[in-house]
Structure 1
Amino acid sequence: MLKALLLIIILALGLIVGPMWSGNAGSVLILAGPYSIEMSLVVATLLVAAFLLLLWLVQAIFRKLSSGKRFTLSWFYKRKQKKAEKQLAQAMHHWLSKNYREAADYAERAAPHLQQPQHGYLLAASAWQALGNLKELQRTLGLAYDSAHHDLNVRLMQLEQMTDSGQALKTARTLLQDHPKHGGVLRACAETYYKHQHLESLRELLPRIQDRDIVPGARLAEFTRASYRSLYQSAGTSSERLRELWKETPSKLRRTPAVRMAYLDVLTHRGFGAIASKVATRGLALNVFTASDLLQFDMREWRQTESLREEVEKQIKQHPEHPNWFVLLGVLAMQESDYGLAERAIQKAISMKPSQLAYRLLGDAYYASGQKESALQAFRQAANLR
């Protein structure tokens, strides 16, 4: 536009200066019906230039107004967006302070004006979940889905809330197919398989989540124990089939506490006490088990525990400062009806660290040996430790 204006000025100057130099200013005659207008060339040129200048000014003003409208709309939009971002920050602050109701309110108010509204709705849904309000959780999760149904975080939270076992299994498999290496997907699918007891699928997933810090170690051990317990339970009451499944388990896995404990779970439940005792003894010899691991089992049905007791005595020599080894020795001594040894071992454990289990076992040992008053006192001390 500036170039056109300069061109007009140059032409006007040419039309004015040219005739003046030639000594003939010239004239212009305009006929319009019965009317006629005559003026000098200089005046006509100035009028044309003034008209073009006025046209340019009108066009410039129109552009300015149009640009200002867009600027105003952009300013209002950015203002709302900044306000929404502040509300989201307040929601996060309330979330961290465990003020979940306020967190949900701020997050939902912020969501419509965020660049990614689903983030606000997901935070609100998480807050309602923490409050246990399933109705509001489903509502805000639905809003998140409506705003971005392809968002991975939305899909993961939906998976977490699914109650239909078949649908959860299908959704988890689809997510794993779409995101086979995504840590959040692997963790969510593992939790889904465990929740809905798809333990075979969980066992197949375990190699992909091990050693990646995707789930806490205790949770991973729980997944492993449950999935392999299901595998060994498939043997039914056949000890031969159960042993075959154990032998088919890779040697490296047989040396992990969770897998061996799963095998012991099934052996104990099926009544294979002698085999259970041997498996436990081997686990101690390989340093797979600790005393705390074996104390989880009901060993009253275990048989042929002499080798196991000898292994526990070796562990006591290596770890004399750990009371649970003495408690375990007391349990095995009770199995062999050696109540004197049981009393001494458990009293030693109590002297290092009193516990409800130790006092209860001491009461059992006293009662079995006919010391009813001492047994009653031990049981009372066990009750006081609750």
Structure 2
Amino acid sequence: MLKILVIFLILVAGFFLGPLLQGHQGSAIFVVANYKISMSFISFVILLILTFLCFYLIYWFIKKIFNSKTTLGRWLRLKSPHKAVKRIEQAQIFLLEGNYQQAAKLFMKSAKGATNTTLSYLLAAQAQIENDELIQANQLLEQAAKSCQPRELFAFQLVQLRLQIKNHEYDAAQILIERLLNEKPRNPEVLRLADQLYYETANYQAVIDLLPIMYKTKVYSESQLDQFKQAVYIGRIKQLTADEDPQQLINWWKSQPRAILNNLSYQKAMIYCLKQLGQTDEADKLQVAITKIESQERT
């Protein structure tokens, strides 16, 4: 509308200046098919401006129709919700088949006519993440952000988090995962992504802190969680050993629950690491405890 106002002001100025320049208007002559058309230069300018104004109004009107959500608008844009649904269905099949590239293409195409543009872009971004096309995934996330509604924000954040982890953007992922853990501490996908992030960044203590809620919410099967638990505890023992501070390792060990203290695998790992640090007395104490447990099991 600002453009229309500017053109209107120019016209008004022309009408006012026209009479003032009546004796100095100049002339414009056109010859078309043996017809001679002559007019003053100011009249020609005014006519030209009016023509541009008419073209602009026609352009504005057509643009409104094209951008409208009516059936006519969708037909003119070749954006059919029915076609979008078909594309989404086919894209989902490709996604299940592991054809992530084709799935992403169809999700992008479906966004043009889908009732939920954000969803199509997010699905396309997820397919590109699975396909290791991280630059394209980031571009699709930017498109999704433009139309993302509050009810879609959580799904957007999960896709964003997967991309950050895949792209090794651990600092940004750390900030986002902490926020999500505060907002949805029992959400299985948030817990899975937190576990993945902490394990990749060797933050074993953070994984250990998550284990109780992961068992309660059954994020993985119990056998899988038991395997993860053993891996992170032994990883944490080795990590503290690498710090070369025996007291820190000993204090950490003593602060663990009884079930951990009585676990033979962890005890043996502690004995090995304590000997590496020169803490033979502590290692011998643990060896005595192991001997007692093993003798009790035999009887």
**TM-score by shorter chain over 0.5:** yes
**Distance of 1:231 and 1:149 partners within structure 2:** 45
- In the alignment, is the contact (CA less than 8 A) between 1:228 and 1:259 conserved in 2? yes
Q: Could you tell me which residue of structure 2 aligns to residue 170 of structure 1?
A: 175
**In 2, are the aligned partners of 1:229 and 1:263 still within 8 Å (CA)?**
no
Residue-pair matches, total: 223
Q: Which whole-Å CA distance do the structure 2 matches of 1:109 and 1:191 have between them?
A: 32
Q: Name the SS of the counterpart of 1:154 in structure 2.
A: helix
The runs of 5 or more residues in structure 2 that have no matched partner are: 1-67
1:177-205 CA-to-partner distances (Å, cap 9, x unmatched) read 22222222222222222223333333322
Q: Secondary structure at the match of 1:210?
A: helix
Aligned to 1:121: 121
Q: How does 1:327-342 map to 2 (within 5 A)?
A: none
Q: Who is 2:82 aligned against?
A: 82
Q: Find out whether 1:221 has 2:227 as its counterpart.
A: yes
**Distance change >3 Å, CA 241–CA 125, structure 1 → 2:** closer
Task: Quote the Cα distance in structure 2 between the aligned partners of 1:154 and 1:280.
Answer: 54
Could you tell me how far apart the structure 1 residues matched to 2:72 and 2:212 are? 54
The question of whether the paired residues in 1 share the 8 Å contact of 2:161 and 2:173 is answered with: yes
How far apart, CA to CA, are the structure 2 residues paired with 1:259 and 1:190? 21
**Distance in 1 separating the partners of 2:69 and 2:111:** 24
Structure 1 segment 315-326 matched on structure 2, within 5 A = none
Q: Show the counterpart of 2:110.
A: 110
By how many angstroms is 1:214 displaced? Answer: 0.9
Matches within 5 A, 1:230-379: 230=236, 233-234=239-240, 236-237=243-244, 239=246, 241-255=248-262, 260=267, 263=270, 266-267=273-274, 270=277, 275=283, 282=290, 285=293
Residue aligning to 2:210: 205
Higher RCO, Cα 8 Å, sep 6+: 2
SS for the counterpart of 1:155 is: helix
Gaps of 5+ in 1: 1-68, 287-306, 316-386
Aligned residue number for residue 191 of structure 1: 196
Query: How far did 1:161 drift?
Result: 2.3
**CA–CA distance in 1 between the matches of 2:149 and 2:254?**
46
User: In 2, Cα distance between the equivalents of 1:113 and 1:280?
Assistant: 71
Does the CA-based 8 Å contact 2:119-2:144 persist in structure 1? yes
Name the counterpart of 2:158. 156
For 2:28, the equivalent position in structure 1 comes to none
| CA distance in 2: counterparts of 1:251 and 1:203, whole angstroms | 15
1:73, CA displacement in angstroms? 4.5
CA distance in 2, matches of 1:118, 1:153: 10
Task: Give the deviation of 1:283 after TM superposition.
Answer: 9.1
Q: What residue number does 2:187 align with?
A: 182
**TM-score between the two structures when normalised by the length of structure 2:** 0.58
Q: Compared with structure 1, are the counterparts of its residues 138 and 231 closer, same or farther at alpha carbon in structure 2 (3 Å cutoff)?
A: same
SS of corresponding position for 2:254: helix
Instruction: Give the 3 Å change call, closer, same or farther, for CA 130–169 of structure 1 in structure 2.
Output: closer
Alpha-carbon RMSD: 4.1
3-state SS of the aligned residue for 1:252? helix
Q: 1:82 to 1:233 in 2, by over 3 A?
A: same
From the CA coordinates, give the structure whose radius of gyration is larger.
1
2:218 alignment partner AA:
D
**Structure 1 range deviating more: 228-237 or 201-210:** 228-237
TM-score (norm 1): 0.47
- Is the partner of 1:113 in helix, strand or coil? coil
CA deviation string 1:265-299 (max 9, x = no partner): 7447547689389559839947xxxxxxxxxxxxx
Distance 1:110 1:251, change over 3 A: same
User: Once the 2 structures are TM-superposed, how far is the Cα of residue 174 of structure 1 from its aligned partner?
Assistant: 1.0
In the TM superposition, what is the alpha-carbon distance from 1:115 to its structure 2 partner? 2.9
- Which residue of 1 is the match for residue 133 of structure 2? 133
Partner Cα separation in structure 2 for residue 115 and residue 283 of structure 1: 67
Determine if contact 2:125/2:159 at 8 Å carries over to the other structure: no
Provide the C-alpha distance between the structure 2 equivalents of 1:170 and 1:218, rounded to a whole number of angstroms. Answer: 27
Identity, % of aligned positions: 22
